[in-house]
Amino acid sequence: MGDGSPVVRGSFGMLKRAAAFVLATCTPLPFAGEPAHMLPRDAHAAIADAGVLHAGSGPRAVGDLRGQRIVLAWTAGAFEYESVFAQVLVHASHEATGPIVLYEPSVDPEEIRALVQAQGGDVENVELLPAALDTFWIRDFGPQIVETDEGHYLVDFPYDYERPNDDGIPALLAARFGLATRETELDIEGGHLVVEGGVCITNDEVVRRNEALGWSKTEVTRELAGLFGCRRIVFVPALEGEPTGHVDLYVAATGPGRVVVGAYEPDEDPTNARRLDRAARQLASAGLVVTRIPMPRNEEGTVFRSYTNLVILPTTVLVPSYNDESSREAEAHELLRRELRGKTVVPVDVSSLIRLEGALHCITITLPF
């Protein structure tokens, strides 16, 4: 690991875990070490019930809709998917605030510049920073952004102990922007969290992960409240059989107080169809306007594809596209055009990348500054 090879992001038990070492697979193995009786470091006592929080002035989590620039992590393995990475960079380079690319020492930054330039990007609007990296899944290990009345701070979750370079990226970005970081022992990754309208959306996979480390659901709720100041935290069901456990594979924020939630055809995936129906009901009950979006077909339960794993830029939305989903895809992309009015929807073919268990949202983080 650490050689920049492309990596699969899920964990399937001990055999899969052993294979992850050999293949340098990409979603972290389950969080490190012996389960300890860890309690929240900054638990807020102000909680009315499990998930319902007091509103107030305090921290406010910043969702992707407020994004001004994106950050990518470019390892040597990213060149195997350069058509995806380059397209993301090209579109981001035409925004007023250009993207940042963190590149590992084995990568020649001139190759990145050449790719962006060859595809019509604004090379001068791309910032390249050297960084030690293990993988390119920056959504998982990058910091979460929180706004206060005084400015911003970065929330640093613990990341896979076998990927220490990735775990250092929040500190690097904090130094780049002169921001404080706030650390937590909560076992959660960036793909487990979608924020909109004061609602933190995560799933029961996060509860299970942290119960193994000695946290109760109430403690998880309080810790998220203390970190992000959400007025409500909703634990939607995780997808059955999907190895990452990430909520951004079936939920995306699309406007103030608005989200899209995936919908499976019941005859194709009855269990996950029911789970996503439940998620939609939960989010509507939390006060969000919910629109359902078709989910691409699973490949016999082994590859879980998504249209919600998208990237929102100030003027453009990059959405996943697949080479065998024409009718369903047309419906999904048209729905996103309606939901994200005023932005240009650009399909990006992620048919190969998704086999590593991630798409566009997974390879970016979005900053509001």
E strand or H helix at 102, and its extent? strand 100-103
CA distances for 235 relative to 184, 241, 249, angstroms: 19, 18, 15
Query: How far is the C-alpha of 94 from the C-alpha of 360, rounded, in Å?
Result: 18
pLDDT at residue 325, rounded to an integer: 72
Sort residue 9 into left (φ over 0), alpha (ψ -120 to 50) or beta. alpha
Please say if the pLDDT value at position 321 is more than 70.
yes
Domains of the chain: 63-367 (3.75.10.10)
pLDDT tens-digit profile of 298-313?
877 789 999 999 999 9
- Residue 298 DSSP class: P
Please say if the pLDDT value at position 102 is more than 70.
yes
Q: What percent of the chain has pLDDT over 70?
A: 85
CA distances for 26 relative to 1, 166, 209, 250, angstroms: 10, 11, 18, 19
Task: List, edge to edge, every strand of the sheet that includes 232-236.
Answer: 47-49, 52-53, 232-236, 199-203, 194-196
Give the mean pLDDT of 8-33.
37
pLDDT at residue 302, rounded to an integer: 82
pTM (predicted TM-score)? 0.87
- pLDDT category of residue 55 using cuts at 50, 70 and 90: very low
The residue with greater pLDDT, 51 or 360, is: 360
Please say if the pLDDT value at position 118 is more than 50.
yes
pLDDT tens-digit profile of 123-162?
999 999 999 999 999 999 999 999 999 999 999 999 998 9
